[in-house]
Structure 1
Amino acid sequence: MKNVGRIAFVAGVLASAFSASPPLALALGLALALAFGNPFPALTSRCSKWLLQISVVGLGFGMSLTEVVRAGRSGFLYTVIGITFAVVCGLVLGRALGVQRIPSLLISVGTAICGGSAIAAVGPVVDADEHDMAVSLGTIFVLNATALFIFPMLGHRFGLSQSQFGIWSALAIHDTSSVVAAAARYGSLALAIATTVKLTRALWILPVTFAVAALNKHKTNFQVPWFILVFLLASVARSYSPQTLVPTYTLVSGAAKIGLAVTLFFIGGGLSRNAIAQVGVRPLVQGIVLWVVVAAGSMWLVRSGLL
């Protein structure tokens, strides 16, 4: 049985890398853990931390600061208010539901900014363990998958224009990839607007991570998260380097997405039946309620012409 588990583990790593799909990788890791247990617990625990941080850095090479900053100037105040509201509302919900502090914070930050990427950045800063990361990411990915199906239908149901849908989907759907997929189903203009707005929002990974690290200093010795600084430098390099280097940066960003998927496979593989039973459904309820509040509020702002 041990050999079967090891073979399944290697196959899962390869499948996660080939697909570069974080939700699929997390699901594969969880399936492995439930079926065979994790044959390499110490290795995956050690590797997941470093691979996660390196992958976050690599994602910076896929983000052009100049474009998103230019696009986001007009909506600066709303973005600050919106992110603050989502995080505070999420923490209040988590406390009311009895969700543990770290998963509650990660779900709130993931909903407020850009899903899995935000959780990947903030998690190491608050010393989130594999259980915290898996619960938070799993909640976000379930809602992302749901959004792909229901958001275009809701957009048509409420008569949103392509411009309105692009803004709404960027504000209310967690991960950038899911925003792109949902907006692409709605139309080319919706896709263009959604991508720009979402990338603008993704920039807030940096200040929010620093803020969380600073607020957490009474629990841990405050240290500037090195990988976030390098993420910023990578984004600057992408923005101001010659166009001839863009294909290279695109390859690095693609490799980072593969690394992130493998990391999530490791995280999923670190779970156990007991850990899942201890978590329960409360984090999922928190994520759903917060998502509905954010989506409904964003819809109202878009339809009223305030956005």
Structure 2
Amino acid sequence: MPGDHPLAPEVVTSGVALTVDPPPVPPGRADGVRRLVPGLLAVAGATAVAFAVQHVVPGLGSTTVAVVLGALAANLGLHRTALHPGTAFAAKRLLRAGVVLLGFQLSLAQVAGLGLGGLAVVATTVTITFFGTQGLGRLLGLGRARSLLVATGFSICGASAVGAMKEVAGGDEEDAGIAIALVTLCGSLAILALPPLRGLLGLDVTSFGSWVGASVHDVGQTVATANRVPGALTAAVVVKLSRVVLLAPLVAGVGLVRRRALAAAPGRRPAPLPLFVAGFLAAIGLASTGWLPAAALGVAHTGQQVLLTAALVGLGTGIHLKVLRRTGGRALTLGLLSWLLVAAVAYAGVRLTGA
């Protein structure tokens, strides 16, 4: 009947009323957003739990708890198909946004404040761990992408770095899941293992903080470890964040190498520098100007913590125990050897330079 549609205007032509139906709404985007909602709600709930646990048990960082919650959901059959689009969105898109905001925690003045000795410790530790871990991975018979992701996580900043490097590494969810599981395990063990070693290794409080910052993987794990020795936190955070700066050149370098390797191959080549990594560098540059008020930097810091925690819930759903069992002891061996490598190189650097 004419006019039955509540939004349908009537056009009168030769005395006959014609109903003009409104143009249909393209279903693609709206349906895509609706598909994200269940998973994002689950991620939001897990993120809230992660921060609550951190508040009750300060030694457990929200990011570590987030990875564990995601892995539990995956292995207990709670990560249902309806949740996958939302958790995948968190693992990819929210991670990128969190990495960009991480740049606002850094400034070139902080990096320069380390001095030549501190910068040498950071650069040497990252370089030897990054390439040494990949070499160990080849000796153990692990794939190139898997070894690369483990090397990135242990040399830079844990699960966040694994997620960032996955963009250009050419690995799959299984490779990323194994790398994240290893850096989470070893970084959590560091919180317990490193503080009792300070006296045995002859490190004063500042040197211990520098050692922790140069060797522990995730930013949250670094803070938790250093907090166990009063006075060590400042040195640990400055050194750790200086390591994070090297995430951008590492990702860019791997991207360029892969583009050249795939130059003759059909298909889409990885970007030499992902857009979010460029955003990360821009954030560092902006923070270095001193133009941003403390309140704005505080908001960026809080946003970064929330986004990375949410992203690590999503990344945690990619950790499957059956995959770890199938890999056998090789992946675990690589993780433990990489942990020993980064700790030994960082310790030698701190003792030699007095950083």
| Cα displacement string for residues 161-196 of structure 1 (whole angstroms, at most 9, x for unaligned residues) | 1122122212221122222222222221x2222222
Answer yes or no: is the 8 Å Cα contact 1:122–1:209 preserved in 2. yes
| Cα displacement string for residues 73-131 of structure 1 (whole angstroms, at most 9, x for unaligned residues) | 44444433332211121011111112222221111122222223322321212244332
Counterpart position of 2:255 = 213
Q: 1:95 to 1:47 in 2, by over 3 A?
A: same
Q: Tell me whether 114-123 or 208-217 shows the greater mean CA deviation.
A: 114-123
Q: 1:134 to 1:270 in 2, by over 3 A?
A: closer
Q: Which runs of 5+ in 2 are unaligned?
A: 1-36, 52-61, 263-267
Q: 1:174 to 1:11 in 2, by over 3 A?
A: same
Partner letter of residue 14 of structure 1?
G
Counterpart position of 1:26 = 67
Q: 1:168 to 1:56 in 2, by over 3 A?
A: same
Task: Give 1:169's match in structure 2, choosing from 184, 206, 212.
Answer: 212
* TM-score (normalised: structure 1): 0.87
Matched, 1:227 2:276: yes
Q: Structure 1 residue 274: deviation in Å?
A: 4.3
Counterpart position of 1:3 = none
Identity of aligned residues (%): 29
Separation in 1 of the partners of 2:237 and 2:338? 22
Say which SS state the counterpart of residue 99 (structure 1) adopts.
coil
Q: How does 1:46-61 map to 2 (within 5 A)?
A: 46-61=89-104
Partner letter of residue 164 of structure 2?
A
Separation in 1 of the partners of 2:280 and 2:318? 26
Separation in 2 of the partners of 1:168 and 1:107? 20
Task: Give 1:35's match in structure 2, choosing from 51, 76, 82.
Answer: 76
Q: How does 1:1-307 map to 2 (within 5 A)?
A: 10=41, 13-20=44-51, 21-39=62-80, 40-188=83-231, 190-217=232-259, 218-219=261-262, 221-223=269-271, 224-244=273-293, 246-272=294-320, 274-304=322-352, 307=355
The answer to which structure, 1 or 2, has the higher relative contact order (CA under 8 A, 6+ apart) is 1
Q: Tell me whether 150-159 or 16-25 shows the greater mean CA deviation.
A: 16-25
Q: Structure 1 residue 42: deviation in Å?
A: 3.7
Q: Which runs of 5+ in 1 are unaligned?
A: 1-5
Partner letter of residue 159 of structure 1?
G
| Cα displacement string for residues 233-272 of structure 1 (whole angstroms, at most 9, x for unaligned residues) | 112222224353x322321232222222222212222444
Separation in 1 of the partners of 2:210 and 2:89? 39
Q: Structure 1 residue 222: deviation in Å?
A: 4.1
Q: 1:209 to 1:293 in 2, by over 3 A?
A: same
Q: 1:275 to 1:150 in 2, by over 3 A?
A: closer
Separation in 2 of the partners of 1:95 and 1:200? 28
Partner letter of residue 198 of structure 1?
K
Q: Structure 1 residue 143: deviation in Å?
A: 0.9
| Cα displacement string for residues 36-66 of structure 1 (whole angstroms, at most 9, x for unaligned residues) | 2422224433442222212211212222233
Separation in 2 of the partners of 1:235 and 1:287? 30
Q: Tell me whether 165-174 or 138-147 shows the greater mean CA deviation.
A: 165-174
Provide the aligned length of Structure 1 versus Structure 2: 300
Q: 1:38 to 1:250 in 2, by over 3 A?
A: same
Higher percent of residues as helix = 1
How large is the RMSD of aligned CA atoms in angstroms?
A: 2.6
Say which SS state the counterpart of residue 38 (structure 1) adopts.
coil
Partner letter of residue 184 of structure 2?
F
